[in-house]
Structure 1
Amino acid sequence: MAATVGLLDFLAPAVADAADEDKKAALVLAAAYRPWCLPEGKQDEAHAWYAAWLLYQRKQQAAAAATVGVIPAGIASEKEGDLARSYRAGRTAGEAVDDPMGFYAQYERLAALCGYGAITVARPVYGCACQGY
């Protein structure tokens, strides 16, 4: 079973006013991020949280574009008179994503239950008399 619009509306009322087409698109995109190791119900919950995060990001971008136009990447604020700009610090790999409503944090909480698997790497064989080397 996949997460539904009803579950999305229940878990994330902040995005319940989004268009049904947008909700369905977010659920389709979020399906690829379902933590498959969890039971079906928890997978649906994680799926809905990820979709809510996508919808909230879209909502914030639309609101910012409607009020101030398009802000160039990396600029946190801009002022017209006596031009003043402040720039955002770049993110490092360890920093969290923008998540003011906590949707992504809820998704990560569930996805972390799966843990991380071991990585196995084959050691290359150099200088052997094997065929094809």
Structure 2
Amino acid sequence: MSLDVSAFNSTNLRKFIQRLDHRHHHFFHRFSKQSHYLHNLLPKFVELKVTESTALSDVEFMKRVLLQLRNIGVAIAIDDFGTGYSSLGALHQLPIHRLKIDKSFVEKIETNTDDVVIVQMMIELTKQLKLDVIAGV
């Protein structure tokens, strides 16, 4: 199962998570147990897709939230990689499993040599960071 947070405004998402985290100290562990109990869904079968711009909008906050989700077994993917403000210094701090290269690079790969170079660089980056990589479609 893949959950995409891009549908939410990042400010509203942050406020929502802060309220949950503040009111329910163990929210993420409860989420894990309840999702399994109610839906027979284990967190290890869930991937949370976070757009690059959302992930890098407040690195410290996102690092804390994503780490809690990762700790209960949820996989974390950076979606639309390469389209936003890519702070590689901040990116390697986030507890992510996978980078999803934006489809705009992949669509023109046969005709645009610049896109070939960019995609090759992104693939090499993911190898060096020991992350999975997938091309957007």
TM range (shorter): under 0.3
- More helix per residue: 1 or 2? 2
* Larger-Rg structure: 1
Q: Normalization by structure 1: what TM-score?
A: 0.24
Higher strand share: 2
- TM-score, normalised relative to structure 2: 0.23
Q: Which has the higher contact order (CA 8 A, sep 6+)?
A: 1
